A and B are shown apart, each in its own frame.
Chain A
Amino acid sequence: MSTPATENIYLPKTAVLERVVCEIADVKTFYWHFEDPTEQAAFKHFRPGQFAQVSVFGVGEFPTSLPPSPSEDETFFTVRRVGSCTSALHGLNPGEKFAIRGPYGNGFPMEQYYGKNLVFVAGGIGLIPLRSCIVYALAHREKFERIQIFHGAKTPKELMYVPKLREWEQTPGVECHLTVDRGDKDWKGNVGVVGSLFQKPGVKVPVENTTAFVCGPPIMFRFVIKDLLGMGFEQRNIVSTLERYMKCGVGKCGHCCIGVAYVCVDGPVFTYEQIKKLGEDI
């Protein structure tokens, strides 16, 4: 077995935290760059929908989706604080170092969507993995037909990427619809689940020649899928990204295996048709 030196797929590279932006409670965006510029250049070839493994000193490693589009200049993660690793990342200050490896996963096959309508449906922090795809589509606007964005959150304070949402709302040729489960005194928009936006007067979701992207908590996911199927969407035209407990990111550790698929290498992007065939509940 004499092969050239194998690259160490588990070895992360050090990165420097540039700045931190609070998005919503417990969710922050971390801007970073690799210490080594050649690493940075190599990493920039990622596809929308891929993910990376982040190591924080003394705590461990976790997978996180890549919200930036390769068309953007900066590299960053948006991370909710849920466990010890993510908490440790939240505790870092600009200038401090951590480590990253990736990008991993299949990502969105963007070229398959050329010439199609794109409908994005995101519940809460489900917007994080879709952000990359949306920004990419807008950067290559001419390649796509209609673009619709539906985003819902529990309260107005929990809407993600608000400055970006405002920008999308103002972008010609993009329909951006927001909703919250419970409004507050300043909220003038829609109140109700994401699916309720589809019924709103003036909203017309295209079904023909359309790909729908759905991301959000399990219960939201189930309801939106039901709505979309009800509208006549085919299973293969509904796309989502799955999250799983994951240790390696490269199809070895076995944790993320669902049915016949490894989320880390066969996913995280799956069509609903594929999800149904995995052979295990998601």
Chain B
Amino acid sequence: MKARILDRTDVLKVVDLLQARGYEVIAPFRGRGRDTYFDTVTSQNRDQIQIHFPNPYYPPKRYVFPHIERLMKFKRNNGNLQIEPACEQPKRAIFGIRSCDIAGIYHLDRFYLGRDFRDVYYENHRKNLFLVNVVCSDCEQDIGQECFCVCTDTGPAARDHFDLQLMDLGDEFMAVAGTPAGEALFADSIFLKGTEAHVAKRRTILDQCRRRFKKDTTSWFSATVRYVTRGEILEKTWEEIGNRCLECGGCTYVCPACTCFTVSDRPIGPNEVERVRVWDACALGGFTRMAGGFNPRRAVHDRRNRRFFRKLAHYFIQRELSMACVGCGRCAAVCHGDIGMPSVVETIRRATAEVDEHEHASH
């Protein structure tokens, strides 16, 4: 592992280095109250970049999979039909992306690029994307009430899939290169050689962070994966969960690993139409409804159940080579009915424990 040390006062110089190399740099900023968001760094806002902050709600996945994105334009003239694909290929770097979101982008990589059909729009956004991961080391700021990355094994410090990783050690930051591109930055004089003491300090801080997480969810997460995979969850439990779904789609939209979209054609001129893709959500009633009226998932709990199946069933984890839940906890914070992932895991745990108890008693 290639690691270096940089002085606390130099940490934002990483942003400058990337900008000098032609990257549009995205970084976290604070909005009103506890609100935070990722935005483009300019000379005006550069000094407001946050290192420790509640992870922005609106996930950075939109830099590779935008909320709404033009795929192509159709033009009609004199009976001819012209089709012009959009082919934006930005050169971007995200500074300050959390470990869970790194895992989310890795999952999207697997999904959009790792199979028979490669998604060219995703690839165009992804191929010049440089990821600077900042480890969640501030228990107050970085780690939220709903975080559970220790359960999904995606944090608080990502192990791979970043270009550069920064971790706050107090007066200094440790920088770890994950790719040759990341390592190339070490040529700059702000990066200094580290010592064993730095590595030890890193370990101590991470241990403290891990203790910050709630224990019970951790132990039940893998059990829930097993139950879901085997289809051992009672219809009644899914119904209980489904009844609390208000079908807002929020969990899907904030999820760093959700991939579904819909496609829509809309006029942009008298003889011109654009085809856009927009995030879509499996919780919505129209998601599977077919023209003509047949809907295989009419009941809300069928749709709800679907989301957790897609995320937790072993089959999908294997197919995508990574789990579609990265433990960021956003779905818990966005949910009107408190059926985000941690609370569903808890509900399933309780329900299964009851069944087990019952069976135990009857034996």
A-to-B contact residues, CB < 8 Å: 1-3, 6-14, 55, 57-62, 82-83, 85-86, 95-99, 218, 243-245, 247-248, 250-255, 257-260, 265, 279-282
Cα distance, A97 to B306, chains bound together (Å): 39
Q: Does B112 contact A (CB under 8 A)?
A: yes
Supply 4 further A-B pairs (C-beta < 8 A) apart from A60-B264, A252-B112, A254-B261. A14-B82, A60-B265, A245-B290, A254-B282
Q: Is A57 touching B72 in the complex (CB atoms < 8 A)?
A: no
Q: Is B261 touching A247 in the complex (CB atoms < 8 A)?
A: yes
Smallest Cβ-Cβ distance to B291: which chain A residue: A83
Which applies to chain B's interface (DSSP): helix, strand, loop or mixed? mixed
Q: Is B265 touching A59 in the complex (CB atoms < 8 A)?
A: yes
With A12-B83, A14-B83, A60-B265 in contact, do A243 and B290 touch (Cβ < 8 Å)?
yes
Q: Does B215 contact A (CB under 8 A)?
A: no
Smallest Cβ-Cβ distance to A60: which chain B residue: B265
Which residues of A have CB within 8 Å of B115? 251, 265
Which applies to chain A's interface (DSSP): helix, strand, loop or mixed? loop
Which residues of A have CB within 8 Å of B81? 14, 57, 97-99
Which residues of A have CB within 8 Å of B170? none
Cα distance, A282 to B297, chains bound together (Å): 9
Q: Is B74 touching A82 in the complex (CB atoms < 8 A)?
A: no
Cα distance, A62 to B263, chains bound together (Å): 10
Whole-angstrom distance between the Cβ of B86 and the nearest chain A Cβ:
10
Partner of A6, one of B72, B118, B264, B313: B118
Q: Is A257 touching B310 in the complex (CB atoms < 8 A)?
A: yes
Q: Is A61 touching B292 in the complex (CB atoms < 8 A)?
A: no
Which residues of A have CB within 8 Å of B273? 57-58
Smallest Cβ-Cβ distance to B74: which chain A residue: A57
Cα distance, A265 to B153, chains bound together (Å): 30
Stretch at the interface among B91-99, B120-128, B132-140, B199-207: B120-128
Interface string of B102-123 (1 = CB under 8 A from A): 0000000001110111111101
Cα distance, A86 to B115, chains bound together (Å): 30
Q: Does B267 contact A (CB under 8 A)?
A: yes
Which residues of B have CB within 8 Å of A95? 79
Q: Is B123 touching A58 in the complex (CB atoms < 8 A)?
A: no
Q: Is A97 touching B79 in the complex (CB atoms < 8 A)?
A: yes
Q: Does B23 contact A (CB under 8 A)?
A: no
Whole-angstrom distance between the Cβ of B105 and the nearest chain A Cβ:
12
Which residues of A have CB within 8 Å of B280? 253-255
Which residues of B have CB within 8 Å of A245? 287-291
Smallest Cβ-Cβ distance to B293: which chain A residue: A82
Whole-angstrom distance between the Cβ of A104 and the nearest chain B Cβ:
9
Partner of A253, one of B127, B262, B310: B262
Q: Give 4 nearest A-B pairs by CB, closest first.
A: A83-B291, A254-B260, A250-B117, A97-B81
Smallest Cβ-Cβ distance to A58: which chain B residue: B273
User: What would be 6 A-B contacts, judged by CB atoms less than 8 Å apart?
Assistant: A59-B265, A60-B264, A83-B292, A247-B277, A251-B115, A282-B296
